[in-house]
A = this chain, B = another copy of it.
């Protein structure tokens, strides 16, 4: 679950976290990736994906607060990371991780968390029926990007039908149809900000 706090934009920019500057990216911006270090999410959510040779976007995961991402953590060519919300990141040079046992241990815990998420997405991709895949994906999203609300769990970011389609290897049209069914069955609803709520 994501813990939110009510710092303003300016407060966040002034804040020194472990003496480390926060880098800000706006919703929709692509995050630059270089070999010599990794990013850690401080606030917000980023989307990790691959652009296939056919120009299709394949979703590889979400980076929520505390998650590390970067070229060191992938072998994927044409890896891309986009801000799904306002995004604050911290930068760690690889040399610093090598030199700090404390940082290694922190990073191990976080890479294990990402590992579990990626493995869960892989297990979902292996399911035969699309409806089953979407239902399992909603459970994973609840766990990874959820905030408790009275009716159930609200997803912290707004995901498009195309985002969801890319995550489970189906078309936008199929997602729209299935989410319509789920809404009628009372499994999900949308709040006034068009964030999805997965009901109890």
Chain A residues proximal to chain B, CB less than 8 Å? 50, 52, 54, 56, 58-61, 72-76, 101-102, 104-105, 107-108, 111-112, 114-116, 118-123, 125-128, 166, 169
Contacts and interface: CB of A to CB of B under 8 A. Distances in A.
Contacts of A115: 73-74, 111, 114-115, 118
Contacts of A123: 50, 52, 58, 60, 76
Contacts of A54: 128
Nearest to A75: B116
Contacts of A74: 115-116, 119
Q: How many of these chains are in the complex?
A: 2
21 contacts: A50-B126, A52-B127, A56-B128, A58-B123, A58-B127, A59-B126, A60-B119, A60-B123, A61-B119, A73-B115, A74-B119, A75-B116, A101-B105, A104-B108, A108-B108, A108-B111, A115-B115, A115-B118, A118-B118, A121-B122, A125-B125
Contacts of A166: 126
Contacts of A58: 122-123, 126-127
Residue from A50, A74, A75, A169 whose CB has the most chain B CB atoms within 10 Å? A75
A121 B74 CA distance: 12
Given A101-B105, A108-B111, A122 B126 contact: no
A101 B108 CA distance: 11
A123 B75 CA distance: 11
B73 A112 contact: yes
Contacts of A60: 119, 122-123
